[in-house]
Structures are given as C-alpha cells and as structure tokens.
Homo-oligomer: A and B are copies of this chain.
Amino acid sequence: MERRVLLAAGLAGAMQGLGPNPAMAQGAGPALVEKKVFAPGAYRTRGGATIPNLRLGYQAAGRLNATGDNAILICHFFSGNSHAFGQLAANGPMGWWDAIIGPGKPIDTDRYFVVAVDTLVNVNVPDAGTVTTGPASLNPDTGRPWGMGFPVVSMRDFVETQKLLLDSLGVKRLALVAGPSNGGLQAIEWAAAYPDFVARVMPVIAADIDAWMQGWLDIWEAPIRLDPNWRDGDYYGAGREPPLRGLAEAWKIVTLHARDRLWAKQYDRTLPEGQDPARRIGDRFGIERWLDDAAAVRAKTSDANSFLYMVRANQLFLNEHPSLEAAMAQAAPRWLVVPSPTDRVFLIEGVRAFIEVLRKAGKQVETAEVTGSLGHLNGVVAMAPVGERIREFLAK
C-alpha cells in the first residue's frame, strides 16, 4: 500500500524514474502521521448540485493553539493527495513536501498545526491511501458509481470543503495556505474567497489560469475521450475495462509537460534493446519507452473520469473570476510567490504577470525561485533550497 501512496503522490515518485524520492533522503527521522476521514454529510456545490455524502481524507501534524490561528493548510497538486508530509507507516515513503514540513523544518510542526486534504474528484481513487468523493464514488440515489453524472466542481468547491474541515477542527485563521501547481491555485482561491481567514499565501509553480492553460488542460484529457473503453465514462463494474490506454496517454502528456529539456537530456540517443526506429516505424526511442512505462504504471493507480473532473476544476478557475484584478484587490495581504523559471506548464511570463497584478492590488509580494532540471516539478521535489525563505516569510 505504501508504494501505492508514493505513486499517488505521483509525478515525483521513485517509480517514475527520478530515483529515490528526494524527501526520503532527508533522514530527519520518522514523523508518523495518521490518515483520517472527514465525512460531514451533504455538500452543496457552487454550481447548485448536491453531493449527499461528502468524504475526504486528510492528515494533520502539530497542535492547534488556543486562539486557533497557528494553522497551515497545504494543498496538493493535480496528481497528488494529502500525503504532503510525514510517513503513514514506519517503512513508508515521506510526503511530497516533507523537505520543508516537519519538526524544526521551515513549516515547523512544533509551532504550527499543519493540515493537508485530499481534494474532491482526486484522481488517485484506486489508491487505498486516498479518500475522495467524485465520479468513481457511489451515487446513493442509484447505488452505482456517478460516472459523468457527478456534479461539476470547481477550485472554489475544493476551498469550501476544506473550510468545512478546518471549521470542524476549530481553526480560526490560517497563518499560511500553500501548495504547488493545482495546490497553488487552491491557495490563490483561498486568498480570494476568505481574505480575513488567511494571513499568508504561498502559491508555488502556479499563477492564475488563462485560455492558454484551458487549452492545454483539454489536450491533457483528450486521449481519455478517444479510448473506446471510456464509454462516456460508463466503464465501472464487472466485465468492463477502464480506458487505461487513453489514461496512460493523458499521463504521458502531463509527465513530459511537467518536466524540462534538461531532464530529458539523459535520454538523448538512447534506444531500448532491440529497437531500430530508423528502420521500423513501430519501434521506440529511449524517451518514448520511458514515457510509455511511466504512464502505464500511473494509469493503473488513477481514475480516468476523475482526471476529466480535475481538469475541469482547474479550467473553471478562469471563468469563476470575472476579473482577476478585482479578486486580488480583495484578497489576503501577504504573498510569497515561488515560480520555476523553466516551468512549461505555468510559464514564467504568466507567473510574472500574476505577480504584477498582486503588486498593483497593493499586496506585499515576495518571490523566490525553485531551480533544477525538472521544470514544473522543481516546485514539488526541489523545495529545500527555498526553505529558509519560507521560514522568514512565516516569521514576518
């Protein structure tokens, strides 16, 4: 199961060719965390639909203070889950941001009460370490999985469900909301939705969504719809095959898009054994074989319909805000924005434009950059060097 959690944490995992999880090499000592389930009953979406039986997984570390204002919320990336820090079992992998979260670390669980939540429509449904509500969940009205009948949800719905959890835990104010990529979008949405509840915001490898990103998200998901096994989302149950080929092709796009050419260099002129692409049109290059293998593994631990709903939640971020400038004018005051200059998903130009919007809105904005060969993924696996900047940001 723990290997599956590592896969759930996803693109950063050792199974995808990055070598040992950088967080695992920290050696900061075990910090066992418990996976819990939040099940508040019915939830009404921003679109006006009702989800009768909301269930979301989460984990927490540290202790909430008497005034309830030392809480930090960590939001996960597109393919991730709430396992952002600590270990769920003694021999299991560390969370994906464990390099900066834990006792004595920049996001210090000796001082802060740190919470991370599995989102709605989380893609890691087949993973026992993920608890979510989405198209693969049972619709109590029919006794069958929702499939494409599940209500559309948005980033704001992620925020609202997290707010319900934080309220139930007694949190009165967040000292920080932070996350990479899709997690950064959630942080921005939090800052806009609950400006007085949020003291500090740290979007990492993220900015607002624009039409360019909406188009790319559509490209990510298109192979799923092309797979004949997708059957308009009706592939659950005995005797049916999930659209694993289409889902694997979708992951292949995400996997490459989230990396960079410097990372790919290791595959220059490599050929899998027996392959001769100069003479046989069906044969593969080294980089293709690596993508094939990584994506096939990832497809088995994720759900195609949930992928479609997660894409939509990201796309809707643009249309939910009639004016980004107006939304940010009302937003929380203090920001640490952390782009990766070689990010091919959230382009550095886009992050800079977002920072400009924040500054024009009068926010206090600091920036720090994550660097490395991994492009977008630097914001997941290469956070250690910006740890002290985060510590200082929290101290201000």
Interface residues of A (CB under 8 A from B): 46-49, 148, 150-152, 154, 210-216, 218-219, 222-223, 226-228, 245-246, 249, 252-253, 256, 260-261, 263-271, 277-282, 285-288, 291, 308-309, 312, 315-316, 318-320, 322, 342, 344, 347, 349-350
Contacts and interface: CB of A to CB of B under 8 A. Distances in A.
A212 B260 contact: yes
B212 A261 contact: yes
Contacts of A281: 148, 150, 152, 308-309, 312
A319 B269 contact: yes
A278 B218 contact: no
Given A278-B154, A281-B148, A320-B278, A222 B219 contact: no
A256 B148 contact: no
B264 A215 contact: yes
Give how many copies assemble into the complex.
2
Nearest to A252: B219
B253 A286 contact: no
Contacts of A249: 219, 222-223, 226
B271 A222 contact: no
Given A210-B264, A216-B256, A219-B252, 15 more contacts: A151-B279, A152-B279, A210-B265, A210-B268, A213-B261, A214-B287, A214-B288, A218-B291, A219-B253, A222-B223, A223-B226, A261-B350, A277-B315, A278-B316, A278-B320
A154 to B, nearest CB: 7
A340 to B, nearest CB: 13
Most chain B C-beta atoms within 10 Å of own C-beta, residue among A261, A270, A282, A318? A261
Contacts of A280: 152
Nearest to A320: B278
A279 B45 CA distance: 10
Contacts of A349: 261, 342
Report whether over half of chain A's contact residues are helix, strand or loop; otherwise say mixed.
Answer: helix
A265 B236 CA distance: 38
Contacts of A152: 277-281
A215 B268 contact: no
A268 B321 CA distance: 11
Nearest to A149: B281
B282 A148 contact: yes
Nearest to A322: B269
B264 A319 contact: no
5 nearest CB pairs, A to B: A212-B261, A212-B264, A211-B267, A211-B287, A211-B264
Nearest to A49: B279
A265 B211 contact: yes
A271 B210 contact: no
Contacts of A266: 211
Contacts of A263: 212
A152 B285 CA distance: 14
Nearest to A344: B344
Contact of A215 (B226, B288, B319, B350): B288
A154 B281 CA distance: 11
Contact of A47 (B218, B219, B270, B279): B279
Contacts of A228: 228
A269 B315 CA distance: 10
17 contacts: A46-B278, A47-B278, A151-B279, A210-B261, A210-B264, A210-B265, A211-B286, A212-B287, A214-B267, A215-B264, A215-B288, A218-B252, A218-B291, A219-B249, A222-B252, A226-B249, A269-B318
A348 B60 CA distance: 43
A91 to B, nearest CB: 34
